[in-house]
Amino acid sequence: MGYYITVEHNVNIYIEDYGPEDGQPILFIHGWPLNHRVFEYQYDQLPKAGYRCIGVDLRGFGKSDNPWTGYSYDRLADDIRSVIDTLKLEHVTLTGHSMGGAIAIRYMARHAGHKIFKLALIAAAAPIFTQRQGYPYGLTTITKERVNELIKATYTDRPEMLHNFGKMFFYQNITESFKEWFQGLGLTASGNATAKTAVSLRDEELWQDMSKIHVPTGIFHGVHDEICPFTLAEALQAGIKGSELVPFMYSGHGLFYCEMEKFNHELAGFIG
């Protein structure tokens, strides 16, 4: 079932709801520059185990409205708060992939974990996405210059940018048809939202946010991730007290495709 939720004046966020209404809720936040449909193969399976899966299109992506402003992590986290409160959700497992993981972490800090039961971080673009001086886990993250190139390509040849981004996403081989479907997800976004969230990815940091997380946290990360290297997962585990790191030995950034069966099993086991 699809519907819209108003998160601020003239800004409506698109939601898809899968599974039993009284099921334990899992709220999925997609990564850059995709939409809620990227979790299709979780929506197909997890409701069979009784979970209610709620997919959100972030503002500017998928079927949501495309305002000119509002692409900071703070504003995106506030949108998630509006979704949770409007739907009157309780005991939520907040699940974020890539940039969605960063937004989930900001939500936990900014809104004191409001209504969150557990936190699942999937190949999260956190605690930082781009290289910084003093980063203790090695300079394996993407440079700011590389993100600037993505922003420039977004404004000049977005389809080619998405094509090249897709090449880095998967470690396992995928079909040409699947590549076309995946690129189509990115093309539904507005160019403005794609560029402005890339600025947030480039500039924002989440070091202080991690210390404010006080719910069970699962960190799911592909060992061969070229977009958010595995060292980021190690930094998250070090920074989030009591967190559990689950490595995916045969996956890149798209671990929920590369090792789909294992991912669904591990996520369900983590939620319990």
Q: At residue 206, what is the residue type? A: L
Three-state SS at 59? coil
Question: Which member of 64, 98, 190, 251 is catalytic?
Answer: 98
Q: Which of 64, 79, 225, 243 is catalytic?
A: 225
Beta bridge partner(s), residue 244:
218
**Could you give the CA distance from residue 217 to residue 214 in angstroms, rounded to a whole number?**
8
Contacts of 3 (CB under 8 A, 6+ apart): 14, 15, 17
Tell me the three-class secondary structure of 3-42, residue by residue: EEEEEECCEEEEEEEECCCCCEEEEEECCCCCCHHHHHHH
The secondary structure of 120-149 as a DSSP string is EEES---SBSB--TT-TT-S-SBPHHHHHH
- Report the relative pairing of strands 11-18 and 51-57 from DSSP bridges: antiparallel
Q: Is 225 a catalytic residue?
A: yes
- β-pairing verdict for 51-57 and 116-122: unpaired
The CA distance from 264 to 272, in Å, is: 12
Question: Does residue 30 have an active-site annotation?
Answer: no
Verify whether residue 114 is a known catalytic residue.
Answer: no
DSSP structural state of residue 240: S
Cα end-to-end span (Å), the chain: 25
Q: What is the DSSP letter of 205?
A: B
Q: Which residues are catalytic?
A: 98, 225, 253
